[in-house]
Amino acid sequence: MKLNELGWNDYLNNRFAAYEEQGFTVGRVMLEHKRIYRVETENGEYLAEVSGKYRFEAESREDYPAVGDWVVLSERASERKATIQALLPRFSKFSRKAAGLTTEEQIVAANVDTVFLVQSLNYDFNERRLERYLIMAWESGATPVIVLTKADLCEDVPAKIKDVEAVALGVPVLAVSVKDETGLEELAPYFTTGRTVALLGSSGAGKSTLTNYLLGEEKQVIQEVRGDDDKGRHTTTYRELYLLPTGGLVLDTPGMRELQLWEADGATVGQSFQDVEELAEQCYFRDCKHENEPSCAVREAIREGTLEEARYQSYVKLQRELAYLERKSSKRAQLAEKDKWKKISTSAKSRKK
């Protein structure tokens, strides 16, 4: 196995140089389960854990390796095991707030070149959810592509594509059907040697079916959607990175029913809602709230039907969520700094004993 087949590039090579001089090797995380990692290297596959020093210095969940990460290793070849000494900087990262009540980051995919935002063309199709995925994709540093699956179940595919293009300005939109084997040739250009594509979407969107097609074998178990509401059941229960026989890599992920932003800025939201922000610039008053003000271009567009009320309300909701994130981010930074100095103090006391 050559590293470039796994996605190795000059960015990573420059950051690994100092570790290489110390005799360490490098590998890519293909699977993670309860802090045990399956890592692929030039010397084969290893089961790996982080070192004690690594665990001590890690300040948050973000500091631990995720699927797609490149890690610095001490190999124990005879045991097919390794110890992770460090994490190389990520050039892209798709994160969300972890599900539940805790305020914690969950890294869904790391070091990904392209994100396939997968939605099925059945009753689960949701433009508002897609807007949220787009914001998170742009924020990740990867390039988003929208893949509409199960085209064989849709009576008017061109109309659905038109609806998606209206909310995904400038983003490629591909409609495919694995069952009928249509549109799949359009996916090929994204899977060249060393390029990584992550599949993101809700349960039952067809990610695992697509993964099996790309691999040319049944790696992922497929479950039928529920008949009563057309909602998907979880097929993939963990994130896993696969090397494709035709070149490139695909990262399959569990369906995400809850998709809360973790980090974003106004520019990212604006990129996804260019139409709304361009209208806002045309309002008579610079501080227009788009409520009852006279000469409001946003309200006028909604009345004329050129802007959907639902899309505008989605924009407002995301702006509020962004403001909340900024407040939480400031608090997290303060807590992280406090925890950092607590560790330093504990370490200093230990050395004095």
Residue 150 annotated as lining a ligand binding site: yes
Partner residues linked to 109 by β-bridges: 94
- Gyration radius of the chain's alpha carbons: 23
Residue 208 annotated as lining a ligand binding site: yes
- 259 DSSP 8-state letter: -
Please tell me the predicted confidence (pLDDT) of residue 231.
47
Residue 207 annotated as lining a ligand binding site: yes
Q: Return d(Cα 214, Cα 4) in angstroms, integer.
A: 20
Q: Return d(Cα 109, Cα 236) in angstroms, integer.
A: 14
Whether the Cβ atoms of residue 37 and residue 51 lie closer than 8 Å to each other: no
Distances (CA, A) of 77 to 22, 35, 41, 82: 18, 20, 11, 8
Residue 331 annotated as lining a ligand binding site: no
Residue 203 annotated as lining a ligand binding site: yes
**Closest Cα to residue 94, out of 106, 102, 76?**
106
Q: Return d(Cα 40, Cα 36) in angstroms, integer.
A: 13
Residue 152 annotated as lining a ligand binding site: yes
**Closest Cα to residue 50, out of 40, 41, 42, 66?**
66
Tell me the pLDDT of the chain (353 aa) as tens digits.
799 999 999 999 999 999 999 999 999 999 998 889 999 999 999 999 999 999 999 988 889 999 999 999 999 999 999 999 999 999 999 887 655 545 567 788 899 999 999 999 987 788 888 888 888 888 888 999 999 999 999 999 999 999 899 888 889 999 999 999 999 999 999 999 999 999 998 888 889 999 999 998 776 555 554 444 444 444 555 789 999 998 899 999 876 555 555 565 556 677 778 888 889 999 999 899 898 899 999 999 999 999 988 888 888 888 777 776 666 655 555 555 455 555 555 555 555 55
Residue 209 annotated as lining a ligand binding site: yes
Please tell me the predicted confidence (pLDDT) of residue 352.
53
Residue 347 annotated as lining a ligand binding site: no
Residue 202 annotated as lining a ligand binding site: yes
Residue 201 annotated as lining a ligand binding site: yes
Provide the CB-side half-sphere exposure for 29 (13 A, CA).
31
The one-letter amino acid at 321: E
**The whole model's pTM is what?**
0.76
Residue 33 annotated as lining a ligand binding site: no
Residue 350 annotated as lining a ligand binding site: no
Residue 289 annotated as lining a ligand binding site: no
Q: 10 Å Cβ neighbour count for 174?
A: 18
Please tell me the predicted confidence (pLDDT) of residue 232.
44
How far is C-alpha 103 from the chain's CA centre?
Answer: 18
Residue 205 annotated as lining a ligand binding site: yes
Structural domains present in the chain: 3-87 (2.40.50.140), 93-252 (3.40.50.300), 273-344 (1.10.40.50)
Residue 253 annotated as lining a ligand binding site: no
Report residue 37: phi and psi, to 5°.
Answer: -120, 135
